């Protein structure tokens, strides 16, 4: 049976770019790989066919020959494009394409240190203005006694014989082999026979650390700050981990936050509500004077522009929304009672002369 055109196999036009060729092959190889289709001969053949096509079209010289002469360019073994030559090709290619899929690693890389997380509580005022905080925690650092080797003074770690000091071992899977972390040395490539007395062979010790952290204005709960290299040191010579400071803004007794806006409830007296007044209103930056127009009902909302939280990126501030409510006193003087009873009579509102029910009524109206 004659071979299918390589471009047809990969579902491409003849002017396909190198990236398009690789992308199409990646998709087909993941779909038909034998490990995903155990015992499926059709999938195995499709996998071989796609791999052979990619082997040719991914090589600029072979692709040029194929574009000019087709399959005849490699007839009789010239050019070595048959699947029999695929094992060496797979070892070079699959580290790049299938590294994440198979959990392997195409080359040994020193592990980074462990990332750390620190939870920080802030008041709403601190979140609004930004603040510098001192934080203290423990982290693993390189042992000074053994300089991180983990070995006792006068001795050195021995090269791991299981992986020959590489830190990885090759495992055969299907038609090709991949790298795995060495189970004996855990990827370090060496074994400590005579451990350091201070770090017990770990190469690291725990140490108390204090850092100054600048919290930008506008942060909110759930956000986190990344401090590069402030995590734990690596036990394999890699870069340090990072520290993530997770923000928690505490509930405020006056303000409620909604994005970059804040809301607060402010009491006014009945006379202020009816006649109008200028009242003192708290904000995140201190008290300000706000005008309450006459005839303001309970629940009326006023906006104080630019008195909210700053945006974390632009710095532009949101607004403060002030909701007024009529505050009804629980006890009043005789003079106040006489005046309110007079008002009630003017309004034609029935009341009991010996009962504060009128005030109860007012309270219920504005609840």
The helix, strand and coil proportions of the chain, stated in percent and rounded to the nearest 5, come to 30, 25, 45
Instruction: Note whether 126 and 233 are same-domain residues.
Output: yes
Local confidence band at 365 (pLDDT 50, 70, 90 cut-offs): very low
Q: How far apart are CA 128 and CA 110, in angstroms?
A: 41
Is residue 110 domain-resident? no
- Location of structure tokens 């629940």: 299
Domain boundary among the residues 234, 249, 264 is at 249
Local confidence band at 98 (pLDDT 50, 70, 90 cut-offs): very low
Q: Quick one: pLDDT at residue 317?
A: 96
Instruction: Note whether 201 and 231 are same-domain residues.
Output: yes
Is residue 173 domain-resident? no
CA-based radius of gyration for the chain: 37
Instruction: Note whether 123 and 244 are same-domain residues.
Output: yes
Instruction: Note whether 54 and 138 are same-domain residues.
Output: no
pLDDT digits (tens, 9 = 90+) for 223-240: 999 999 999 988 767 789
Is residue 181 domain-resident? no
Grouping H, G, I as helix, E, B as strand and the rest as coil, residue 321 is: strand
Mean pLDDT of 171-193: 78
Q: How far apart are CA 228 and CA 336, in angstroms?
A: 66
Domain boundary among the residues 201, 228, 249 is at 249
pLDDT digits (tens, 9 = 90+) for 289-339: 999 999 999 999 999 999 999 999 899 999 999 999 998 888 888 988 888
Instruction: Note whether 240 and 331 are same-domain residues.
Output: no
Cβ atoms within 10 A of the Cβ of 100, count? Answer: 8
Is residue 228 domain-resident? yes
Instruction: Note whether 45 and 91 are same-domain residues.
Output: yes
Domain boundary among the residues 213, 229, 249 is at 249
Please report, for residues 53, 107, 108, 321, the alpha-carbon distance to residue 178 in angstroms, rounded to integers and kept in the order given: 22, 10, 12, 62
Q: Quick one: pLDDT at residue 358?
A: 46
Report the candidate in 236, 239, 215 with the shortest Cα–Cα distance to residue 312.
215
Local confidence band at 81 (pLDDT 50, 70, 90 cut-offs): very low
Q: Quick one: pLDDT at residue 92?
A: 43
The CATH number of the domain holding residue 28 is 1.10.287.110
Instruction: Note whether 313 and 355 are same-domain residues.
Output: yes
pLDDT digits (tens, 9 = 90+) for 22-39: 889 888 888 888 777 877
Q: Quick one: pLDDT at residue 145?
A: 92
In this predicted structure, which of 130-139, 168-177, 194-203 has the lowest mean pLDDT?
168-177
Instruction: Note whether 303 and 328 are same-domain residues.
Output: yes
The CATH number of the domain holding residue 231 is 2.60.260.20
Instruction: Note whether 243 and 261 are same-domain residues.
Output: no
Range of the domain at 136: 116-157+192-249
Q: How far apart are CA 306 and CA 260, in angstroms?
A: 10
What percent of the chain clears pLDDT 70, i.e. is strictly above it? 82
Instruction: Note whether 127 and 237 are same-domain residues.
Output: yes
Are 235 and 188 within 8 A, CB to CB?
yes
* Chain mean pLDDT for the chain: 83
Q: Quick one: pLDDT at residue 75?
A: 64
Local confidence band at 126 (pLDDT 50, 70, 90 cut-offs): very high
Is residue 286 domain-resident? yes
Instruction: Note whether 137 and 244 are same-domain residues.
Output: yes
Is residue 187 domain-resident? no
Is residue 12 domain-resident? yes
Quote the tokens at residue 34.
């034998």
Q: How far apart are CA 176 and CA 205, in angstroms?
A: 41
Report the candidate in 289, 321, 292 with the shortest Cα–Cα distance to residue 304.
321
Instruction: Note whether 215 and 98 are same-domain residues.
Output: no
Is residue 145 domain-resident? yes
Local confidence band at 105 (pLDDT 50, 70, 90 cut-offs): very low
Number of separate domains in the chain: 3
Q: How far apart are CA 365 and CA 367, in angstroms?
A: 6
């Amino acid at each position: 049976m004659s071979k299918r055109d390589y471009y047809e196999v990969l579902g491409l036009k003849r002017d396909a770019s190198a990236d398009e060729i690789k992308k199409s092959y990646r998709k087909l190889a993941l779909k038909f790989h034998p490990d995903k289709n155990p015992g499926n001969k059709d999938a195995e053949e499709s996998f071989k066919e796609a791999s052979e096509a990619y082997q040719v079209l991914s090589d600029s010289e072979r692709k040029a020959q194929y574009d000019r002469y087709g399959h005849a360019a490699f007839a009789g073994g010239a050019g070595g494009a048959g699947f029999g030559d695929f094992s060496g090709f797979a070892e070079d290619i699959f580290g790049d394409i299938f590294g994440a899929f198979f959990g392997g690693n195409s080359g040994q890389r020193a592990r980074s240190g462990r990332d750390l997380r620190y939870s920080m509580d802030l008041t709403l005022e601190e979140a609004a203005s930004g603040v510098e905080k001192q934080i203290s925690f423990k982290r693993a650092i390189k042992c000074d006694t053994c300089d991180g080797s983990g070995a006792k003074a006068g001795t050195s770690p021995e090269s791991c014989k299981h992986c020959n000091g590489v830190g990885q071992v090759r495992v055969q899977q299907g038609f090709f082999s991949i790298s795995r972390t060495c189970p004996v040395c855990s990827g370090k490539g060496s074994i400590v026979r005579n451990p350091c007395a201070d770090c017990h062979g770990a190469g690291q010790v725990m140490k108390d650390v204090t850092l100054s952290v600048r919290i930008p204005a506008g942060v909110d709960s759930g956000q986190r700050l990344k401090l590069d290299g402030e995590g734990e040191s690596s036990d394999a010579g890699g870069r340090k981990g990072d520290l993530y400071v997770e923000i928690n803004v505490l509930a405020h007794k006056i303000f409620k936050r909604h994005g970059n806006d804040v809301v607060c409830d402010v009491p006014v007296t009945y006379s202020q509500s009816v006649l109008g007044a200028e009242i003192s209103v708290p904000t995140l930056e201190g008290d300000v004077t706000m005008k309450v127009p006459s005839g303001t009902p309970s629940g009326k909302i006023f906006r104080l522009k630019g008195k909210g939280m700053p945006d974390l990126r632009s710095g532009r501030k949101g607004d403060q929304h002030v909701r007024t409510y009529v505050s009804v006193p629980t006890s009043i003087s005789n003079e106040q009672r006489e005046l309110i009873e007079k008002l009630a009579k003017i309004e034609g509102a029935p009341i009991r002369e010996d009962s504060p029910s009128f005030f109860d009524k007012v309270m219920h109206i504005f609840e």
